[in-house]
Amino acid sequence: MSLPMATVTLEAVSKSFGTVPVVHELSCSIAQGELVALLGPSGCGKTTTLLMLAGIYRPSSGVLRFDARMVNDVPPRQRNIGMVFQSYALYPHLTVYENLAFPLRLQHQPRAVIAQKVTAMAALVQLQDLLQRKPAQLSGGQQQRVALGRALIKAPDVLLFDEPLSNLDTELRVQMRTEIKRLQQTLGITAVLVTHDQVEALSMADRILVLRAGRLQQLADPHTLYHQPANTFVARFIGSTPMNFVPVAVSTAPDTFHLVDTSWCFPVPRTVWTPGVQGSEGVAHFTLGIRPEDIPLQLSSGDQLLPATLTLLEPLGREVLLSVTCGPHALKVVVPAPCRLTPGTVVWLDLGHGPHHLFDSETGLAFASR
């Protein structure tokens, strides 16, 4: 089964409700067959953006295009979109067959064509043995498959997901992530996924658009977002345990940072010393980001290791998350399980190990991610 594909383009799109701005001049392009996730905290404008794509909201300014067609004033039914909701939105009095067939009946397609398409879609979403059941007789994952099949069966140009996995338990969420990605790749359909769950976005999307207060922070593939965040917000938001941030200044020693408000210094690789950092010796303060898994921890002192005090242990299965204090600075460190340390233990950290992420302390923008 092949579906049409569309390129989706947003050109300086903004949306306000009265005097309250929600989305600010958002520009991006989503390629044919690409799955892009809109990711950000609650209230960042991701659902509003999705509803503008769906035609439920009209942009206050800017242009929305499906391929070359401007769709700002095109009503939802004429946009040829499919939408999968958080609440599934199935018709409880209809069977699985009837729910799948409903969009085709609205199009007045012949009964034989409907039967053929429903059978094919049921097989695609693995519901062929459940066609005579009603939604109340299905599990959450099965209901989500029905909702997905109903959105796909009318061959939409664009498929929109509004937090589709939020109502599922952990096991079903993992299963449906795989299922949705499999179907999207098999059909090659252009898709937009709204989620506040970074794991969901990282595992499913080809690219992720990170929003904060209605403004685009970064649009990139998952690897780039994790390893080369554009600013401190993205660096903090992406990663199962947030990135550590500490204030540092250029030391008088070559290729060395001084940890602000302490007497400790540590070396960093030459790759971090970009033109924006060089020449600021002894004066400029920066924000250094290091992920918890990138900080080696030792139980004895060593050359250029910084002492820290363990304050809390959080077992995470195969890993243990440690909270430590290094002078006035609180840090997180991930170590393999089991960990037999106890709060109050003095440990030593290698902050020079990296990779390092260096940010402007005023703007939050990245200098380097090495």
Contact 130, 96 (CB under 8 A): yes
For residue 166, the domain's CATH number is 3.40.50.300
For residue 1, being part of any structural domain is answered with no
Strand partners, 8: 30, 66
For residue 296, being part of any structural domain is answered with yes
Q: How does pLDDT run across 81-98, given as a tens digit for each residue?
A: 988 887 778 889 999 999
Closest CA to 84 of 184, 213, 218: 184
Closest CA to 310 of 348, 349, 343: 343
Of 211, 237, 263, the last residue of a domain is: 237
Q: How does pLDDT run across 186-206, given as a tens digit for each residue?
A: 888 999 999 988 989 999 999
Of 237, 265, 291, the last residue of a domain is: 237
Q: How does pLDDT run across 260-315, given as a tens digit for each residue?
A: 988 888 888 877 777 666 544 445 689 999 999 999 999 888 888 999 999 999 99
For residue 349, being part of any structural domain is answered with yes
Residues 219 and 269 in one domain: no
Question: 282 vs 78, which has greater pLDDT?
Answer: 78
Domain residues for 331? 244-369
Going by their DSSP bridges, the two strands 329-336 and 35-39 should be labelled as unpaired
Residues 252 and 228 in one domain: no
Residues 172 and 270 in one domain: no
pLDDT band, residue 13 (cuts 50/70/90): very high
Residues 204 and 322 in one domain: no
Listing DSSP states for 198-256 in one string gives HHHHHHH-SEEEEEETTEEEEEE-HHHHHHS-SBHHHHHHSSSSPPEEEEEEE-SSTTE
The domain total for the chain is: 2
pTM listed for this prediction: 0.88
Residues 221 and 331 in one domain: no
Q: How does pLDDT run across 323-340, given as a tens digit for each residue?
A: 999 989 999 999 999 999
Of 182, 216, 237, the last residue of a domain is: 237
* Identity of the residue numbered 238: I
Strand segments (E) across 67-162: 69-70, 81-84, 158-162
For residue 162, being part of any structural domain is answered with yes
Closest CA to 56 of 42, 36, 77: 77
Residues 201 and 321 in one domain: no
Q: CB-hemisphere CA count at 13 Å for 258? A: 16
